[in-house]
Amino acid sequence: MDREVTLPGSRRVIDGVERIFYDGYWIKYYAPPADSLTAKKQLITALTRRLFNHVEHGINIPGSKLNDARSCYEQEMDPHLKRVKGAMLAGSLFNRATDIITKLVEIQELGVEISSDNGLLRECGRCLQEALGLGRLVLHRSGEEGIDELWGEPLHAFSIPVEAFYESRYIKIASTMRDVDRIGQALIKTFMPESAYDGIQPLIEAVTQTAHFKVETLQTDKAIFSVWPNFVVASERLLAFRPQAKENPSLEYDRLQEEGVRLIAQGQSIISDIIRARTPMPKTTREYIARLDSYREKVIREAARNKN
């Protein structure tokens, strides 16, 4: 008999919670607000605030400073300084777009009709489009990579109906969960074969499971008061884990165990970055898994030497 196929976007109540299905994951569902300029203003403001929470410091430049930011960027010749000044220009453009749509909502609330071809609305879209182009210059606060998705979201929210934007977010949440799972699986694959790491698998699984709940839960949901503490405690338990001591270990063995502990801490940190941004970090994830693979090969070589 054919297995039932669950279509993307299917909704179902599971354990009393309404969930929506994308890319193999049942994600907590939130009903979108009615599509309006007010809803878009609230969404873009939240997305802009979230963006600045996760990117490098110093680029949250007020929209009122846009001309100064542009002038400094255009006049800069040093490529390293130009990258940073381009990031600052991107931040100012984002804030200018938020300023415009905030004022338009205030005018709309006075009963003034704002048409879709309004000049200020077009200017808002241009600011977001230019900021998106400059977003490639901006790094995540970890310094490891940029998060292009964060720069595109406000423009996306501006350009399409609110309901369609909410649907697109579930696809990104599923991709984020998949990155979390890839890291968790790589950690288990790396450390489970080592007897010194007995007991670590349930600690890793607790981090990935609580990470799933965190990434799907909005900050405005009262469930966050249990979801976030559960992730923090699971992370603390994993970070507190230490491999079992070995009698008369070699210097190389001790060095490998120290490296293993550092890699575990790095994995937890990357998972935390990913779920707080609620966006995949493919370059960071890929490079971290490569470091785990390299570490595992060194452990195998050391074990072979000890047998000989």
Q: What ranges do the domains of the chain cover?
A: 37-159, 173-307
> To the nearest whole number, what is the mean pLDDT of the chain?
87
- Torsion over CA of 292, 297, 302 and 304, rounded to 10 degrees? 150
For residue 177, the surrounding DSSP H or E stretch is helix 162-191
Tell me the mean pLDDT in the region 248-264: 88
For the stretch 219-241, pLDDT in tens is 889 999 999 999 999 999 999 99
Looking at the DSSP bridge assignments, the partners of residue 26 are: 21
Q: How far apart, in whole angstroms, are the C-alpha atoms of residue 120 and residue 70?
A: 19
CA angle 269, 272, 273 (to 5 degrees): 90
Report residue 35: phi and psi, to 5°.
-70, 120
The answer on pLDDT for 252 being more than 90 is: no
Q: What is the pLDDT of residue 219?
A: 86
Say which DSSP state 140 is in: B
Contact 47, 153 (CB under 8 A): yes
Residue with tokens 């994830």: 285
Q: What is the pLDDT of residue 299?
A: 85
Say which DSSP state 19 is in: E
Looking at the DSSP bridge assignments, the partners of residue 13 are: 18
The proportion of the chain whose per-residue pLDDT surpasses 90, expressed as a percent, equals 47
CA angle 274, 128, 119 (to 5 degrees): 155
The answer on pLDDT for 11 being more than 80 is: yes
For the stretch 169-224, pLDDT in tens is 899 899 999 999 999 999 999 998 888 899 999 999 999 999 999 999 998 899 99
- Torsion over CA of 295, 298, 304 and 308, rounded to 10 degrees? -150
Instruction: Using alpha carbons, select from 269, 293, 294, 292 the residue that is nearest to residue 140.
Output: 269
Q: What is the pLDDT of residue 1?
A: 41
Residue with tokens 């940073």: 84
- Torsion over CA of 72, 78, 82 and 84, rounded to 10 degrees? -110
Contact 124, 101 (CB under 8 A): yes
The answer on pLDDT for 305 being more than 80 is: no
Q: How far apart, in whole angstroms, are the C-alpha atoms of residue 61 and residue 63?
A: 6
Q: Which band of pLDDT confidence, cut at 50, 70 and 90, is reported for residue 294? A: very high
Choice between 111 and 72, residue whose per-residue pLDDT is larger: 72
